[in-house]
């Protein structure tokens, strides 16, 4: 039994690693994904352009405009000279927002009369608009307080734990460890059996004395090893190159990683067992990856989803492992919390793996 299983695992590893091109494919595209996605999948609002429509031209409006220009999140300020121009700039998305000062704004302010600054935002970009609105109101409120020569009655001191400067990269990188491991892991397991079926070598396996369990274990161990290798690579890169702190228990990260890869292998094998061809397996794997990314909380927070969908996400192993990864990187999460986010993966693996085995048995003929 040991010998046969060993032969099977070694063969699968050869199949993955023999081709030099295959070895490159295993490492290079994930690394590219790490870099491109790391920088591209950002929800931050930076480098934006806003318009200023200043009908006043007084000291106060110029001062506010200057402060806006000086804001680090704003790349360009577009002076606008008419209502129509302002409207067109927003319509055609030249700017995300237009700040508008009414005639007599500075005079009102100097005289102590209430004065308004109007902000018009492009609601099509609701996320950016919302965040930009926050920036602008802070700038204006700060100026107002200075004018009044006083601070507010009391104030709020904000502390961001785990990520003091709210660097977006600190969020994407621990998330990408999970996402990229998912894509490569699912890809390998979903293809493995479908490929043998298509090439005709599967029947060769079935007439050999290999047991079903040996075939299946042989099929999941190598992708798990590859997944663990890739995850290790990212762990090192992210903490050393990108400077994201690695605060928590690395050993437990690996415990959780193994559970995650098991749950994933179960899903991959399920796809493989229902697919007749490599192409179907690929489409299935693609679909599962999109599902995993969307429902994991990486693309947008789970809390924002409707209740029924939040319930569904409990069955998505990626969602649980994402919490673990964030916890180990940024939060120095205690083992108890890590475990609370790990055991659901055990449950998922305990369902998907036997289900895949059963389906295989049923479809062997």
Q: What is the rounded CA–CA span in Å between residue 292 and residue 183?
A: 9
Distance, in Å, from the CA atom of 33 to the CA atom of 175, rounded to the nearest integer, reads: 12
Q: How far is the CB of 63 from other proteins (least distance, A)?
A: 11
CB 50 within 8 A of CB 97: yes
Give the closest residue to 51 by CA, choosing from 20, 87, 27, 16: 87
Please state whether beta strands 74-80 and 48-54 pair in parallel, antiparallel, or not at all (unpaired): parallel
Residue carrying structure tokens 């069955």: 315
Phi, psi of 119 (to 5 degrees): -120, 130
Q: Which residues contact 356 (CB under 8 A, 6 or more apart)?
A: 216, 266, 269, 270, 272, 273
- Closer to other proteins by CB, 217 or 228: give it: 217
Q: Residue 4 or 55: which CB sits closer to other proteins?
A: 4
Beta-bridge mates of residue 77: 50
**Smallest distance, other proteins to C-beta of residue 352, A:** 20
Smallest distance from the beta carbon of 104 to other proteins, in angstroms? 14
Q: Which is nearer to other proteins, 28 or 350 (CB)?
A: 28
Round to whole Å and give the CA distance between 1 and 8. Answer: 11
Strands 97-101 and 74-80: unpaired
**Smallest separation (angstroms) from other proteins to the CB of 183:** 10
Q: To the nearest whole angstrom, how small is the minimum distance from the Cβ of residue 316 to other proteins?
A: 10
Shorter beta-carbon distance to other proteins: residue 130 or 240: 130
Complex with other proteins: residue 66 or 116, whichever CB lies closer: 116
- Residues 190/272, Cβ–Cβ less than 8 Å: yes
Tokens at residue 243, please? 């400077």
DSSP 334: -
Q: Which is nearer to other proteins, 137 or 350 (CB)?
A: 137
- C-alpha pair distances (Å), 271 with each of 155, 274, 291, 338, 359: 55, 5, 14, 28, 10
Residue with smaller CB distance to other proteins, 124 or 241? 124
Would you say 169 or 255 has its CB closer to other proteins?
169
In the three-class reduction of DSSP (H, G, I as helix; E, B as strand; rest coil), residue 53 is classed as strand
């Amino acid at each position: 039994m040991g010998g046969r299983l060993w032969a099977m695992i070694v063969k699968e590893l050869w199949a993955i690693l023999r081709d030099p091109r295959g070895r490159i494919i295993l490492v290079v595209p994930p690394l590219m994904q790490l870099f491109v996605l790391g920088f591209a999948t950002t929800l931050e609002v930076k480098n934006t352009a806003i318009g200023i429509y200043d009908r006043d031209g007084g000291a106060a409006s110029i001062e506010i405009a200057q402060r806006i220009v000086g804001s680090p999140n704003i790349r360009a300020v577009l002076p606008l000279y008419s209502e129509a121009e302002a409207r067109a700039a927003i319509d055609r998305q030249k700017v995300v927002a237009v700040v508008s000062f009414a005639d007599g704004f500075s005079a009102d302010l100097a005289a102590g009369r209430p004065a308004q600054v109007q902000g018009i935002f492009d609601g099509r970009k609701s996320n950016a608009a919302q965040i930009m609105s926050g920036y602008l109101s802070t700038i204006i409120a700060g100026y107002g307080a200075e004018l009044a020569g006083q601070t507010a009655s009391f104030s709020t001191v904000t502390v961001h734990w785990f990520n003091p400067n709210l660097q977006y990269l600190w969020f994407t990188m621990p998330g990408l460890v999970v996402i990229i491991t998912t894509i490569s892991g699912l890809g390998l397991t979903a293809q493995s059996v479908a490929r043998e079926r298509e090439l005709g070598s599967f029947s060769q396996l079935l007439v050999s004395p290999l047991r079903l369990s040996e075939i299946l274990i042989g099929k999941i161990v190598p992708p798990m090893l590859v997944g663990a290798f890739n995850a290790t690579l990212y762990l090192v890169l992210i903490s050393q190159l990108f400077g994201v702190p690695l605060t928590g228990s690395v050993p437990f990260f690996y415990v959780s990683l193994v559970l995650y890869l098991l749950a994933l292998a179960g899903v991959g094998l399920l796809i493989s067992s229902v697919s007749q061809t490599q192409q179907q397996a690929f489409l299935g794997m693609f679909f599962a990856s999109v599902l995993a990314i969307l429902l994991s909380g990486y693309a947008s927070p789970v809390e924002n989803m409707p209740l029924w969908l939040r319930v569904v996400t409990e069955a998505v192993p990626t969602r649980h492992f994402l919490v673990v990864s964030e916890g180990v990187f940024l939060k120095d999460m205690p083992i108890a919390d890590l475990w609370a986010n790990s055991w659901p993966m055990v449950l998922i693996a305990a369902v998907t793996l036997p289900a895949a085995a059963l389906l295989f048995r049923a479809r062997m003929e």
